[in-house]
Structure 1
Amino acid sequence: MMTSPGTPFRIESYKHDQSFHRSWDKTLQLHLSDAVLIGGNDNVRVTESDGREWRTREPAICTFGRGQWFNTIAMIRPDGIYYYCNIGSPFSFHNNLLTYIDYDLDVKVYPDMSYNILDKEEFAIHSRMMKYPDDVIRLVYRGVQEVISWIHDKRGPFHPGFVERWYERYLQYPNR
């Protein structure tokens, strides 16, 4: 289902066992194509699996590539753009709800494009506990390698000017 730019949608992530992980209440769709969904948000309510709620502290541009085993959240801070790359299943988008399975590993990217891979221990524990199939484990590791390759190649959301351009577009919507 195609919706128009400026339409709000909700993001929900789950774990491999289908248990709820986290949700972001309102992100504005900036672009939707056969290849990618790009959204923007700021001061959005996030709900954790334990019921805890908090609000994001800075504007963000979120990028979900079709068929990709990662998504990116580019956080616009006074000292530069930081990226949080969730390694997870390809997304599904229906009725203004975007969902994906979060596979624990994350890649945090700093304004100078250096990065850290986070939550390796959580991935090891969950892969045993939830019995991740070998093909899922391979796809997760491939997702990490793809993110690193994109960082080095300055592809997609890591391309200079990408986040700023989409943030300018986000600011044009009065219902943000």
Structure 2
Amino acid sequence: MVYRKFDEKLHWHQWMRYLGEDSYGVWLGAPGGAVSQRGDEPEVTQEQAHVQLFPRGKWFTAIFNDEPRYTEIYADITTPVEFSDDVVTMIDLDLDVIKRRDGTVFIDDEDEFAEHQVKYGYPADVIATARQTCDWLVGAVSAEEPFLSAYKAYLDKVR
């Protein structure tokens, strides 16, 4: 799993296990103790298991964290995922929709999104689609599948 920024620089990347595909997209997972890395920074060990959804043709990806992690769902606004061989890759467009275990939902990194619109020259259609997707996710993470329970069977597979 490889996230890049708009200038193609390496962002977050991690080896994950293929768990399956359903009507929501491709599901990958990693058990507690798995490592991920941002760019060439030191590796980060993930304490809890997590699964990640990579929808086909959508402008987001979503991470579903096992308990007790305080962040239940972390959705990244991205370009549509590209699938090739055993790699999934996408461009991270900065905006994140986060749902905490207590039900709080908020948008993160709006300042970064505004800054990168100028720095990287995001096209107008990318900006509009990213914002529309973000606005939809704010409500969807608390009211729609796969954010309610569909992910739980995949999380069971990596525990």
Per the TM superposition, whether the score is higher than 0.5 is: yes
- From 28, 31, 46, the equivalent of 1:39 is 28
Q: Name structure 1 gaps, 5 residues minimum.
A: 1-10, 172-176
Aligned-residue Cα RMSD (Å) equals: 1.8
Deviation at 1:33, TM superposition (A): 5.1
Aligned residue number for residue 58 of structure 1: 48
- From 3, 16, 23, the equivalent of 2:13 is 23
Aligned residue number for residue 126 of structure 1: 116
Aligned residue number for residue 104 of structure 1: 94
Aligned residue number for residue 74 of structure 2: 84
CA distance in 1, matches of 2:109, 2:89: 21
Structure 1 moving runs of 4+ over 6 Å: none
CA distance in 2, matches of 1:67, 1:60: 22
The 1:81–1:131 alpha-carbon spacing in structure 2 relative to 1, beyond 3 Å, is closer
Task: Read off the aligned partner of 1:162 and give its amino acid letter.
Answer: A
CA distance in 2, matches of 1:147, 1:96: 27
CA contact 1:22–1:49 (8 Å) conserved in 2? yes
CA contact 1:22–1:47 (8 Å) conserved in 2? yes
Q: Quick check: 1:162 aligned with 2:150?
A: yes
TM-score (norm 2): 0.90
Aligned residue number for residue 140 of structure 1: 130
The 1:21–1:150 alpha-carbon spacing in structure 2 relative to 1, beyond 3 Å, is same
Larger Rg: 1
SS state at 1:162 partner:
coil
Q: Report percent identity of matched pairs.
A: 24
TM-score (norm 1): 0.82
Q: How many residues align?
A: 158
